[in-house]
Structure formats: structure tokens, C-alpha cells
Amino acid sequence: MQEIRLTPTSYIVLGLLEFAGESSPYALKQLVAGSVGYFWTLQHAQLYTEPERLASAGYVSETREETGRRRRLYTITDRGRAALEEWRNEPTGDLAELREPAVLKLFFGADPKRLAIAQVAANRARLAEYQAIRDSMPAEMPPGPRQALEIGIRVERAAIDFWEELAD
């Protein structure tokens, strides 16, 4: 049994396995794309390596299909559930950094107008996506995803305001 460090990627995998039950890496890929993916994407390769890593430390268990492609299938274990629960219950004061490429350029003297035009377009497109997702969310969905979406929308709006003003 290995000791591993749990990263955000780990919790995404654990969270999805808890929600969806036994899943293959490819199924996880689909799940990410349709959920957390709107604010936290993962490379598909990570959805093969990360469950493997989690399995090596007992947070998930692995079986293989007997027939056909013999896909690997992962299930969250009690240990995994406990780790997820602990993480979830620990409120964090951590803050992500902005790390916006366009802001870096702005900082180092890029032409604000040209930048702003591209950024307004990109942010508007993303805002539209978010709103589309929100409007198509089934009502019986748990509240977390909707709330996460909501802060995304707020931040997008703030960004659009900023870049629009900058363009003048």
C-alpha cells in the first residue's frame, strides 16, 4: 500500500466515483466533460493514471471486465469515501490565483484595446455556455453544481465589464 498525496484531481475522481458508482476511465471522462469540466478540466490521460494512483493507496478498488475490451472499472472504497468526506468538511481559506494569460500580457504592457476585444469575445462565449448549462439543469440536481456554476457566471460578468470598459 503506497502513500500518496491527494490533489484536486484526486478529489474530482473520488467525487465522481461516489456520485456515479463503478466507472471506467472513459466514463469518467464523459462525466467530467458534462459537469466539473466547466471550471476544472482534466486531460483524458489523467483519468487513466489517477484512478491507478488512487488504487495503489486503497482509495479505490479496481476490477476488469471479463469479456470484450476488458476495461478497467473503479469503485470508491470506504477509505476513499472517508477521505472525500474529510476534505469536503474541511472549509478552506485557500484562494486560487487569477493566472489569466491576458492579464499577464496587460501587466507587461500589451495594447489594452486589442486584448480587450479578444477577451470580451471569449468571456461572452463562456458566459453563454454557462447560462445554457444552467438553463438545462434538471431541477432534481443537487445544489452544489448549480452554485458552482453561479459563481462562474458572476466572475464572467465581472470580467466582461472590466474588458468592455477597458476597450473604451
Could you say whether residue 46 binds DNA (CB under 7 A)?
Answer: yes
| Residues belonging to the chain | 168
Beta strands at 72-76 and 60-64: parallel, antiparallel or unpaired: antiparallel
Residue 85, Cα to own-chain centre: how many angstroms? 18
Specify the residue, 99 or 139, whose C-beta has the smaller distance to DNA. Answer: 99
Quick note: the x/- pattern for a copy of itself over 14-53, rule CB under 8 A, is -x--x----------------xx--xxx------------
Q: Check binding of 88 to DNA (CB under 7 A).
A: no
Cα 3–chain centre separation: 24
Q: Which stretch binds DNA (CB under 7 A): 14-22, 41-49, 81-89, 128-136?
A: 41-49
For residues 35 and 145, the answer to whether their CB atoms sit within 8 Å is: yes
CA 69 to chain centre: 28
Q: Contact between 123 and a copy of itself (CB under 8 A)?
A: yes
The answer to whether residue 99 forms part of the interface with DNA (CB under 7 A) is no
